[in-house]
Structure formats: structure tokens, C-alpha cells
Amino acid sequence: MTRFIGYLLVALIVYTLQVSLFSEFLVARIRPDLSILLILFIALNEDITMGAILAFIFGIMKDSLAGGNPGLFGFSYLLLFFIATMLFNRLNPESAPLLVVLSFFGVILEGAFVVVSLLFAAHTAVNWSQIVGSVVGQAAATALVCGVVLWLVVFVREHLGVRLPFIGLKYLEDEYECDR
Amino acid sequence: MIVLILFTGFLYYSYHLKNRGVKNFWERTVLDVASPAIQTADSLIESVYQTVSTYLYLVEAEKENQTLRKQVAELSGQEAKYQELSLENERLRKLLHFQKEIEDAFVSAQVVGEDASGWFRTVLINKGELDGIKEGMPVVVADGVVGRIIRTGQTVSRIMLLPDPSSSIAVLIQRTRVRSICQGQGDSLSLEFASNDADIEVGDRLISSGMGGLFPKGVTVGRIVSAAKPETGFFQTIEVEPAVDYSRLEEVIVLLRELDE
């Protein structure tokens, strides 16, 4: 329960940053989407049920703070979560470059899901140029943030000796724990 | 299990597509919970921005003579402050003057955040249901039409801006009194259903016609920047520049008028 509330608090901080700080200093075309990093994190660290519930809640939170119909991002994030879980079961999740690449394609996929989902609402006009024009820049900015965060975690571990449990790296350590 | 969860998510989305007017408990809760955080963050960012700006300015001036630097910094700081105050004064004066012209009851609000995704043209304001704001209410500034309220919390509301593709407004070309519909196109607007023989010129000013019943008649919407008559087809392709600079919205006015159901 504590972890669940912790996730919600982190999500609240992330969305507050996106709505206020990023929008103040960054144009929409290069604004990182930190919620995708949250989805990747829970896909790596949580089981299917808990992860799916969290992904849906993160999506609904985004729905409340963005345009579009309620459930649009909720559904998109559910799909993204399942795809990320499936990929992490097949690929090497402790590879930092892979996580950076996944964060990039996560935003692209999110954009694609949103566009497809909007198509279901025939009475809602879809601004293709707005989404398509922004999504690549946002994906690049998100991948950059993901890379910086991973680099920072490794740096802190190596130079300050602080063992931060973190995305991807957790798997590597679990493996060592098993070997011992 | 996965299919069931996905289906539930899809059902939720579909339900809200069909029942757009239905109050969404979850969304309202998120808005109410996030509202204090967003408003605090907005104030914090503003303070930090001011502090950092001042600090950066002082660092640059460090190279100068100590006395002169202090003097210059003080004078420049004062000038910037006066300039900011003057701009704010001008903005508020304009708003106040505009408020006097408005016949409807209204609420003034400040923009505290933008769209979380960056894919839709929406902004958050620091007033909500406690101030009498309801979904669907029109929002304006002295320069013209801003948009309409699409979601409300207790102390925060979300506005869909006019340039969003889901937005449209009934307009009147001021010079010729031709009626038409203005549709959002992301960054600009377009004039829809203007027949080829309609008298439309670049530079024509568009005002709200009041036909939809939502916006009062006569509020500026924009100005025609290009008009082309296609070789085939009945309607002209017309691009409209909005009267309001939506990237610089700070204070807005919510008109407390509702559409009759």
C-alpha cells in the first residue's frame, strides 16, 4: 500500500512538473514526457495486476490534466504497459541504451495510440500535424532525460557508494543475489 | 486477464466518448488533488525564475567596477521592475476596461498551467466550481475569444483554447456581416463553409456572431490572413490569425453564462 501511494505521489510530482515547469520553459515540441518513464519503471518492477492498475491510474491522471476524452490516455497507457512488460520479458532490461531507446519509442507509440483512439471519436477533430509534429521532438527529449537519469544513478553509485534501487539495474542485482 | 483489463480500459474510454456531459468523479478528484500542487509549483517557478534572473544579471555585472556595477544593477533592476509593473498595469487596465464593457457576470482567473501532453490546446486556471464556474462557460480576454471551460474542479478548471481542432465558434465577418464558422487548426484558425461568391478579403476582422448562444455577440475572434478560391468545390479555403496570443495568456475572464440545455 505504501508503495502504491508512493507511486501516486511520484506521478503527481511528474504531472505537476509537466503542467507547470516544462510548459513554462519548454515549447510543446521538445517537452519530455516523464510519465512514459514511469510506465517503463512499473513494467520492470511490478507484477501485471499492480502494474496495469498503476498504468491506468497514471493515464487517467494525465487525462485530467490534458485535453481529449476521459480514458484516452488511460487506455493508451494500459496498452503501453503490456507492450513494455512483454518486451522486458524477452529483451535484456539491464541495458541502459535499450531503456533509452524504449523510452523514445514509448512516446512514439503513445502518440500513435492517441491518434488511433481519437479516430474512434468520429465527432472529435484530430489535429494530425499537432501530434505528429510534436511527437518526435518529445520522444527525443524523453529519451535524453531517461539517459541522463540512468547516467546519474550509475554516477551516484560509483562515486558516492549509494545503492539506489533503480530501473533495469535492479534485475542485475537480483541475479547476483541469486548467485550468492 | 490482460484482455479483460484492456477491455475494461477501452470500455471506460468508450463510455466517456458517448457520455461527454457526464461528470467524471476520477477526473474531478485528480484535478482537485493536483490543484494545490500545480498552483504552488506555479508560484515557486515564478519566484525562482525572478531570483535566478536577478542572480544571472548580477553575475554578468560582476565584471564591471564595483560601485558602477551596483548602481547599474540597481537601476536596471528598478527599470525591469517598473517595466514589468507598467506592463502588468497596462494589462490589468485593459482587462478592467474590458470588464466594464461586459454585461454578463464574470470571474477573473489566472492561467497556472498548460496541457500535460502538449498535444491538445488546453490551459489550467486557478478558479473552479467554488467561484461559480461550470463546464461549457465561455472564456475571453480584452483581445478576444480564448475558449471554453471543459472540465472543472473545486478550485481549478481546464479551458479548451479556440485553436484546438475540437473547438469552433459561430462568427460574423465585421465588414460584410457574412456569417460563418471558425474552426481551430492547432496553431491557427480556419473559416469554414464560406462559399466561393462570398465577399471576403484578406484583413477582414471576424467577431463572434452570438449565434451559438455561448459567446456574446461582437467579441473579436481574429483576422483573415489568406483566402483562396479553389478551381473545384463550393467553399473558399480561408486561414484566420487568432486575435489572442495563446502562448502568452496570463489573466482571463470566465463569463458566467450557460447554454440552455
* Tally of CB atoms within 10 A around B110: 14
Region of A71 (left: φ > 0; alpha: ψ -120 to 50; beta: rest) is left
Q: What is the pLDDT of residue A53?
A: 92
- Cβ <8 Å between A65 and B30: yes
Q: How far apart are CA A44 and CA B251, in angstroms?
A: 43
* Tens-digit pLDDT profile for residues B46-101: 888 888 888 877 776 676 667 777 777 778 777 777 777 777 777 777 777 776 66
- Compute CA distances B35 → A19, A26, A51, B78, B206, whole Å: 11, 21, 26, 33, 35
Positions in chain B short of pLDDT 50: 261
Three-class DSSP category at A39: helix
Of A12, A49, A69, the CB nearest to B37: A12
Measured CA to CA in angstroms, residue B252 lies from B68, B91, B223, B246, B257 at distances of: 42, 11, 21, 11, 15
The pLDDT assigned to A26 comes to: 75
Is B186 close to A130, i.e. CB distance below 8 A?
Answer: yes
Helix axes A72-90, A34-45, angle to 10 degrees: 50
Using an 8 Å CB-CB cutoff, list chain A residues near B186. 127, 129-130
Q: Tell me which residue of B231, B161, B236, B232 sits closest to B197, measured CA to CA.
A: B236
pLDDT of residue A179: 47
- Return the closest-CA partner of residue B167 out of B120, B225, B110, B112: B120
Q: And the C-alpha cell for B36?
A: 494545490
- So what's the pLDDT on residue B95? 73
With a CB cutoff of 8 Å and minimum separation 6, the contacts of A89 are: none
* Interatomic CA distance for residues B84 and B81, integer angstroms: 5
> What's residue B148's pLDDT?
92
Contact B117 A129 (CB under 8 A): no
According to the model, what pLDDT value does residue B235 have?
83
pLDDT score for B24: 72
ipTM of the complex: 0.74
Which pLDDT score is estimated for B101?
A: 67
Q: In sequence order, what are the residues at sequence separation of 6 or more whose Cβ sits closer than 8 angstroms to the Cβ of residue B10?
A: A75
Write out the DSSP string of B193-234.
S-BTTS---TT-EEEE-STTSSSPTT-EEEEEEEEE--SSSS
A24 min Cα distance to partner chain B (Å): 8
What pLDDT is stored for residue B256 in this prediction? 87
Interface of A with B in 69-88 (CB under 8 A): 69-75, 78-79, 82
Q: Which pLDDT belongs to residue B10?
A: 78
User: Residue B174 burial by CB count (10 A; 0-12/13-18/19+): exposed, middle or buried?
Assistant: middle
State residue B34's pLDDT score.
82
Report whether A82 contacts B2 (CB < 8 A).
yes
Mutate to test the interface with A, among B24, B45, B117, B187 (most CBs of A within 10 A): B117
What is the chain B residue with the closest CA to A59?
B9
Distance CA B111, CA B39 (A): 9
Inter-chain CB proximity A64 and B41 less than 8 Å: no
Task: State residue A124's pLDDT score.
Answer: 59
With a cut of 70, which residues of chain A have pLDDT below it? 28, 121-127, 161-180
Contact (CB<8Å) A48/B165: no
Can you tell me whether residue A167 is helix, strand or coil?
coil
Residues in B touching A65 (Cβ below 8 Å): 30-31, 34, 113, 115-116, 124, 158
Residue B18: closest C-alpha in chain A: A121
Distance of alpha carbon A20 from alpha carbon B49, whole angstroms = 13
With an 8 Å Cβ cutoff, are B16 and A17 in contact?
no
pLDDT at A123: 53
Beta bridge pairs of residue B235:
B195
CB contact under 8 A, B6 and A78: yes
